[in-house]
Amino acid sequence: MLLRLILLVSSLLCLAGAAEPDDQRTAPAGPSGPELAEQKHFVECLAWVYSPALWFSYNDALYFQARNEVQVRQLEAMKATRSRYVALTNRETRYEIAAKVIAASGIEPRWQAKILLPLTDTNLNLTPTLEKPLLVIPNYKVVQSLAQGDALIQDDEAIYFVMNFGRGAADASGTNAALIKEGVKTYTTDGRFKTVDAFVNVSLSAEETAILKRVVAACQKEAAILGHKVAGRKATQDFEDCRARATDSNPYMQFLLARCYLEGKGTTKDEQLGREWMSRAARNGSGDARAYLEKVGKTPAP
């Protein structure tokens, strides 16, 4: 079945409390938890957008385009999430993040310019798009190889004259041919002339596919780094909340605070301070703290 999709969519491119006097620690400076989480989501969106499955090559330029309803829905879902950003709302900041990650992939500047549009007041997209209908043929067979790298291919509905057939990394697979119509062509077969619609092959070459995969890998690496930072900020916030609530009337929170110090969760690891808070929690009635101290062979001070 011939799949014709003309889907040109914009890309993405979104407590000191009851602490002891010697326990005056502050949370590390840096982006807030929500900002880090939004940066992580935005970079994850970039990893999806730069997937080779969403790009084609035309006249030595690369273009982004969703090709089916599933991709369109996923793109719209990501855009909807970005619309709810509360910290990463500045377009210039998002552009800088994209440019930094793409540069970190190590691809040459000429490739960077092909996949990331310049930041201007009028351009709202990160990725280039092309206002030409893209024809995607899910399954086909090669009917005849022609001169100059052209070919006749056929699906269940028609025969197509394809110029520059074979430039794509997966053309030999017989699936998902990406074509743009360029007019008509006449060819001879069995001594007769036939005229058919002519298309240019816009499938990605092996080099172009490799370039985009490097960008995806860089985005995934940065998203993982941001994920660790998000987890760290949450642990810090949990620690601060625990420290604020660790009063003598709340021995369970004192126990949790002791665990934070002993394990270095959300704060610098400090075993001595952890043991002090564990003993304090046990004295105030925390069964968890008493069980811990018994396990490590310690008896809480009276």
What confidence tens digit (pLDDT) does each residue in 15-35 have? 223 333 344 444 445 677 789
Token pair for residue 75?
């793109």
Which of 24, 35, 21, 17 lies closest to 267, judged by CA? 24
Least confident of 11-25, 49-63, 95-109, 167-181: 11-25
d(CA 13, CA 239): 36
Side by side, the strands of the sheet bearing 141-145 are 3-5, 134-139, 175-189, 192-201, 159-163, 151-154, 141-145
- Categorize the per-residue pLDDT at 174 as very low, low, confident or very high, splitting at 50, 70 and 90: confident
What confidence tens digit (pLDDT) does each residue in 197-224 have? 899 999 999 999 999 999 999 999 999 9
Q: Who has greater pLDDT, 264 or 29?
A: 264
With a CB cutoff of 8 Å and minimum separation 6, the contacts of 264 are 270
- pTM exceeding 0.85: no
